[in-house]
Each structure stands twice: as structure tokens, then as C-alpha cells.
Amino acid sequence: MAPLTSRMRAPAAPSRRRHDTARSTGPKSLKTVGEAMTLLEQFTVERPRLNIPALQKLMGLPKTNVYRLLSTLESLGYLEKDRASGYYHLSLRLYEIGSRSLVNFNLRDLGRRYLQQLNERTEETVILSVLDKGDVVHIDVLPGRKRLSATSHVGARLPAHATASGLALLAFSSPEVVDGVIGRGLAPVTERTITSPAALRGVLGEVRRAGVSSNYGGRLREVFGVGAPVIGRSGFAEAALAIAVPLPYIGPGDEARLKRAVAEVAGEFSKALGYVPGR
């Protein structure tokens, strides 16, 4: 091996990049941009309004820097400041850009009718999700008609192994995807979350056989989830339809009924995408 410290032009040598920030992600990244985006990420559903001291604590940056980032993002129109309180919140401008990222697959538009169908049929919260970098991302949600429905937000990103959607997606994904998820580690969310690789593989096998997944409190202790894959031409899952029911609403026989409903609607969706069940 050649010494990596050499500074020569190195015509054929791989020549390590200078920094290797975090985990060797490409060339040097623009620091300020990263900080600005990190700041935007601090605004969550639970914590939608933040001020300078709060962000200071969250990000560990000097007050001045936070202030400058905020001012910049505000003048660009991505944040709005409540004049009186001094608190900032995300603006609709971000919603615009974010929405555009969905045009790449119009799954959401296609899925609307099936979501509605499932929603009407079960009266529960129904969810359409995709797998993105090993996580489940909800791209559409129709709230249940009953008084309380599981908190599922459009745009939410969740660990695949802890949700019914995720299990349905993983069961019908390529082995590499599953290995990737397992490789990252199966972090527990509740005490019922699947955390062992073997257990996960076992469950995925069952899901593959049954065509439906279920999740009894693996993400939220009080929520029961049922999921089914939406399969495209490739034979792999392109999305998952799921339903989330608060445990108090679950009676005997409901589980089977819900599973059937989800599986049927997801099956129709798959057919619409050009999937032919006969292998």
C-alpha cells in the first residue's frame, strides 16, 4: 500500500479526500449549508416553533450563528418569525419544494382512490407509505372517522422494522434491502419492537406467505397496525397500504376482518400497477 500522506499529484492514486467528515460521504461538504438544513430539521411536529436559545441548545452553536442562520432562512422565505414572540416556524415555501419531490413517482395520486376505499370500508386511519433508505415514509394519510386515530403524519419517517407498513414493504423487497435494514441495527421503539435479526426474518417470511403484516404495539404501545404490500411490475413492493387502529377499538374478529380488507385493497392497487399475481 502506498503511503497516503503523500501530497503529490498522484496520477493514478485514489488520493484520500482531506476531511472525511462523518462517514466518508463524497467530497468536502459546504459547512454552512449543512448547518442551515440541520436548523430546519429542528422544527418537528412536536416542536413546531423555536427561538434562538432553544436552537442554540439543540445545535450547540454560538448565539450569533443561530441568529444569522435564522435571519437568512427568514429572508429567503423558508422560515417565518412571529414578530411579537420572536419564535420562528416553517413557512409554506418548504411545503412547495417538498411536494415537488413526489412527482418522481405519482404513487400518491394513484393511491388516493385505494386509500379512500379502505378508509370508507374500515373507518380507521389508513396510510400509504414507501420505503426510502431503509425507512418507512408516509406519503399519504386519511384520518379515521372515529374520535381518536393513531397519530400518523404525512411525511413522517419511521423505522421499517417497527411498523406494519415497514414489515409489508420489507417482506416484498430484495434481500439487499432487508440486509441493509438489519445491518443498521434494529433499534427498539417499544418493548414489543422486533429487535433480533432472526426474529425479523421469521416475521418477514410469515408476511410473505400471508400477504399481510401486523404490528401489535411495536411502534406505539397502544396501536395495532395492519399492512399489505402494493406490488408493481417488478414483483417487489413499491408501497404499502396500512391501517392503524387504537387498541381499545379492537374487538374479537376485527383483526381478521381488517387484514382481509387491507390485503384486498392493496391487491387491487397492485393489479392497477400492472402486477400479475401469478408470479
Partner DNA sequence: GAACGACGTTCCTAATAGTGGAACGAAACG
Partner DNA sequence: CGTTTCGTTCCACTATTAGGAACGTCGTTC
Which of its own copies, DNA, none does 109 bind, CB closer than 5 to 8 A by kind?
its own copies
Which of DNA, its own copies, none does 52 bind, CB closer than 5 to 8 A by kind?
DNA
- Which residue matches cell numbers 417487489? 236
With CA atoms as reference, report the closest residue to 193 among 217, 209, 173, 170.
217
155: left (phi over 0), alpha (psi -120 to 50) or beta: left
Interface residues with its own copies (CB under 8 A) are 25-30, 32-34, 36-37, 40-41, 43-45, 48, 68-69, 71-78, 89-104, 109, 112, 116, 130, 132-133, 137, 139, 142-143, 153-157
Size of the site for DNA (CB under 7 A): 30
With CB under 7 A as the contact rule, the residue among 2, 37, 42, 63 that binds DNA is: 63
Complex with DNA: residue 10 or 187, whichever CB lies closer: 10
Complex with DNA: residue 67 or 236, whichever CB lies closer: 67
Which of its own copies, DNA, none does 90 bind, CB closer than 5 to 8 A by kind?
its own copies
187 binds DNA (CB under 7 A): no
Which of DNA, its own copies, none does 37 bind, CB closer than 5 to 8 A by kind?
its own copies
With CB under 7 A as the contact rule, the residue among 1, 3, 5, 8 that binds DNA is: 8
Which of DNA, its own copies, none does 87 bind, CB closer than 5 to 8 A by kind?
DNA
Complex with its own copies: residue 137 or 182, whichever CB lies closer: 137
Q: How far is the CB of 197 from its own copies (least distance, A)?
A: 25
